[in-house]
Amino acid sequence: MALTIQNLSKTYPNGTQALKSVSLTIPNGMFGLLGPNGAGKSSLMRTLATLQDADTGHVQLDGLDVLRDKEAVRRVLGYLPQEFGVYPNVSAEELLDHFAILKGVGNGRERKEMVAALLHQTNLYEVRKKYVGGYSGGMKQRFGIAQALLGNPRLLIVDEPTAGLDPAERNRFHNLLSELGENLVVILSTHIVGDVADLCRSMAIINKGEVLLTGDPLTVMHNLTGQVWRKLVEKAELPALQASQQVISSRLFAGKLVVHVLADAAPDGSYEAVRPDLEDVYFAEIARYQARPQLA
């Protein structure tokens, strides 16, 4: 099973072109959609989730026309949006049962078994009687995944799911997502590079509505070998360095800056080669995009 996106475009009434001829083939398993805020990730997710129309393009999910047959798509879709609201004074068990009814699970016994199984799967069963309004951020996100899994979806979309989570909850969420990615198409939309590096077998980088790169994380990292160079500099040296080199990232270390530069060879003897990681790939693609001549 795969989700195929062809030449998908979307422009909002204010003139913002959120998607520019996006084409992707997303296979079974975890797929990472990586990009900065405002890259078009949420616009793409809302379109795939049948919440807004595209201007042009085609999307197919295992024979379903996603843009035209919206009701059929919703029956096989699980969706956790970036902003997920809950009824605060309802228990997780009751609220999940309510969502199951809305999803079309009419048989009471089947619904009870499904709710219990999902609460176990998301490690919320012991707190199933607790009001959802009293849940921590990570527990709410796990509840969001539970509701998204109602009805055994074939496509699961999660939009910025780990933003704001503490490290322990982020690890729990990663473990949960890695289990889900074995049996369905899961799209993880995020600006957090580590989420994609940890979880995804294939990925795309998107910026300003354009797909900049696709592939599997190991391959795209390998393809950047020999092009990333590191140097430790004083903070005051950064502006001059940015003017003379293609600086893709900088971070503080012991009061100085560790700078990564994109170049085919070491700019001079003060640089050392870096084994690229996915963060280097991400920043390099964004830097290349920003260096392109932009049409007015």
Q: Above 80 in pLDDT, residue 293?
A: no
Amino acid at 70: K
The structural domains of the chain, with segments of one domain joined by +, span 1-76+153-215, 85-151, 223-291
Instruction: Please count the other Cβ atoms lying within 10 Å of the Cβ belonging to residue 294.
Output: 8
Provide mean pLDDT across the span 93-116.
90
Contact indicator for 146, 119 with CB cutoff of 8 Å: yes
Q: Tens of pLDDT along 198-227?
A: 899 999 999 999 999 999 999 999 999 999
User: Strand (E) positions, the chain?
Assistant: 2-11, 17-27, 29-34, 56-61, 64-65, 77-80, 155-159, 185-190, 202-207, 210-215, 228-233, 246-253, 256-262, 272-273
Assign domain 1-76+153-215 one CATH number from 3.60.9.10, 3.40.50.150, 3.20.20.100, 3.40.50.300.
3.40.50.300
pLDDT category of residue 170 using cuts at 50, 70 and 90:
confident
Q: If pLDDT is split at 50, 70 and 90, which confidence band does 186 have?
A: very high
pLDDT at 169 over 90: no
Q: In this model, does residue 52 exceed pLDDT 90? A: yes
CB 206: neighbour CB atoms within 10 A? 26
Query: Cα torsion at 211, 46, 94, 152 (round to 10°)?
Result: -60
pLDDT digits (tens, 9 = 90+) for 73-97: 998 999 988 777 778 899 999 999 9
Share of the chain above pLDDT 70, in %: 99
**Whether pTM exceeds 0.85:** yes
* pLDDT for 295: 52
pLDDT of residue 68: 94
Per-residue confidence (pLDDT) for residue 280, from 0 to 100: 96
User: CA angle at residue 199 from 263 to 251, to 5 degrees?
Assistant: 40
User: Is the pLDDT reported for residue 99 higher than 80?
Assistant: yes
pLDDT, position 173: 82
- At 65-77, the pLDDT tens digits run 999 999 999 989 9
Taking 70 as the threshold, does the pLDDT of residue 294 lie above it? no
Which residue would you say has higher pLDDT here, 270 or 183? Answer: 270
- Least-confidence region, from 10-19, 156-165, 209-218, 266-275: 156-165
What average pLDDT score do residues 132-145 get?
89
Q: Which percentage of the chain shows pLDDT scores above 90?
A: 67
